[in-house]
Amino acid sequence: MSGTHTDVPSVPSVLAHELPRPVPADEFATCPVSDVFRRVGDKWSMLLVILLGGRPHRYNELHRSIEGISQRMLTRTLRTLEADGLVRREVHPTVPPSVEYSLTPLGGTLLEPLSTLADWAVRHEAEINEARSRLPPI
Amino acid sequence: MSGTHTDVPSVPSVLAHELPRPVPADEFATCPVSDVFRRVGDKWSMLLVILLGGRPHRYNELHRSIEGISQRMLTRTLRTLEADGLVRREVHPTVPPSVEYSLTPLGGTLLEPLSTLADWAVRHEAEINEARSRLPPI
DNA sequence: CCGTATCCCCAGAGATACTG
DNA sequence: CAGTATCTCTGGGGATACGG
């Protein structure tokens, strides 16, 4: 394996496990886990992955599908996903030009862990909202 | 069910599914899924959940365990997690005072989807780095 | 149709100092 | 020990206009 990373063991082991040393901020910054976590948290990336998981889309199709995204952020996010090998960009030299975006096989494998997390969110939405209503706002 | 949310269907259905209408930005903002996704992406929350998933910790213990976190962000993050019902804060009125933080049962259920995602990150780290090295930097 | 190029704003996050 | 209180800065992200 290459770099060190913050240990996120599978559930049984996480309960029996203790991190031995302080988690260094620098390692965490380049840790593949926190790297992916940050991407999951950014505003548009996972929404695009989900949309493209349904079927390939053209640029303006994505722009219309996601209300509120700017062209700047749509392009930037797609390029980042492409650079990470999650999204494929195909230019068809027609007139007018058409560009199709789709998930790569790697991108496709992300759908499953993503829906696991999304399932959790939906299943526990009520509990979270209840907790929020109990404690006074921060 | 309460609010609408961006559909993140389980894997088989995501491939057969198409979002019918533009995803409204406002709905997405209050969507439980994107809500959790944002928390996953924030800098310290999930690291704290993972640490507390191992065992309960006291405040300064967490502060020492996570190199680079400021007192301000440690407190703020813990309070947010507490407000969401993921973390429990117990004050023991000793001298000097001691405060223990632990995962709630709800917080514990988050460990599994979290490690699913972390597993994905570790497993595909090499592919991502390879993709990044192929494409010229953005 | 598919983007770049600029400018601008503000919330997330760090540094530092102080307190019950 | 376990926090507040300020100040500050950075970069994520929006608006707008223009270009191949």
Please name the residue of chain A whose CA is at the shortest distance from the CA of residue B85: A131
State whether A8 and B50 contact (CB < 8 Å): yes
B105 Ramachandran zone, left/alpha/beta (phi>0; psi -120 to 50): alpha
Q: What value does the mean pLDDT take over residues A62-90?
A: 96
* pLDDT tens-place string over residues A41-71: 999 999 999 999 999 999 999 999 999 999 9
Nucleotide nearest to B71 (CA to C1'): D3
**pLDDT of A131 above 80:** yes
pLDDT given at position B15: 37
* pLDDT tens-place string over residues B41-57: 999 999 999 999 999 99
pLDDT given at position B31: 87
pLDDT given at position B85: 97
List the one residue out of A135, A129, A25, A128 whose CA is nearest residue B70: A25
pLDDT given at position B28: 58
List the one residue out of B124, B80, B70 whose CA is nearest residue A5: B124
pLDDT given at position A51: 96
pLDDT given at position B24: 66
Contacting residues for B41 by C-beta, under 8 A, at least 6 apart? A37, A38, A39, A40, A41, A42
pTM, two decimals, is: 0.86
Taking contacts as CB-CB distances below 8 angstroms, the residues of chain A near B124 are 106, 109
* Strand stretches in chain B, DSSP E: 57-58, 87-92, 98-103
* pLDDT tens-place string over residues A104-117: 999 999 999 999 99
Chain mean pLDDT for chain A:
85
Taking contacts as CB-CB distances below 8 angstroms, the residues of chain A near B40 are 37, 40-41, 117
**pLDDT of A17 above 80:** no
pLDDT given at position A10: 55
Q: Are A52 and A87 a contacting pair, CB within 8 Å? A: yes
Going by pLDDT thresholds of 50, 70 and 90, the confidence category of residue A30 is confident
Strand-pair partners of A88? A102
Domain extents for chain B?
20-133
pLDDT given at position A136: 61
Write out the two tokens for A10. 């599978």
Q: Distance from residue B65 (CA) to nucleotide D14 (C1'), in Å?
A: 37
Nucleotides of D under 7 A from a protein CB: 1-6, 12-17, 20
pLDDT given at position B137: 52
Q: Are B34 and A71 a contacting pair, CB within 8 Å? A: no
pLDDT given at position A39: 95
Strands B57-58 and A98-103: unpaired
Domain range B20-133, CATH architecture = Orthogonal Bundle (1.10)
Task: Give the integer Cα–Cα distance in Å for B20 and B6.
Answer: 11
Please name the residue of chain A whose CA is at the shortest distance from the CA of residue B57: A18
Regions of chain B with pLDDT less than 70: 1-29, 136-138
